[in-house]
Amino acid sequence: MSYVRRTREALAANLGVLDAYAHVSPYMLAQPVPPAIQVAYVEEVDYDAAMQRSSDEWTWIVQAFAGLLLDQAAQETLDSFLDPSGPTSIKAAIESDRTLGGIADDLRVRSADGYRVYTIAGVDVLGCQWMVDVLGTV
């Protein structure tokens, strides 16, 4: 199994603690039904970040869709996902195992871009994306 696939699935496993609040997928969903969280894609790879094949730094994008754009419940859900800690914090969930079960040297949630509007199947939904840096030796 590829390193990318193992990392994707490990990030989703960390997010699994949020299953009670949202559907979690290790892959992009064609038509996510909010609330949903997906490990969307690799934004950037910095190969050989340390020294000659000793480590690579991967920037992953994790997206969450909270609900209909103007729905108060969607805003409250997204607020709780954006919290830096607590039972519904996406940051805390991702960082709960910083080695991703031993396949990474370290990771950190670098940032979240705040509220965004996504159009899914012609419907505007409220969401956000997080940038996750994973340092690993492949």
Would you kindly state where each structural domain of the chain is located, as residue ranges? 3-136
**Residues 34-57: pLDDT tens digits?**
999 999 999 999 988 666 667 899
At residue 105, does pLDDT exceed 70?
yes
The percent helix, strand, coil of the chain (3-state, each to 5) is: 25, 40, 35
pTM of the entire predicted model: 0.94
pLDDT on residue 15? 98
pLDDT on residue 70? 84
Mean pLDDT across the stretch 100-118?
A: 96
**What is the fold, at CATH topology level, of the domain defined by 3-136?**
Alpha-Beta Plaits (3.30.70)
Helix (H) or strand (E) run with residue 74 in it: helix 72-82
Could you list the beta-strand ranges (E) of 5-103.
Answer: 23-25, 36-46, 56-68
pLDDT on residue 81? 98
Under a CB-based contact definition with an 8 Å cutoff, are residues 74 and 34 in contact?
yes
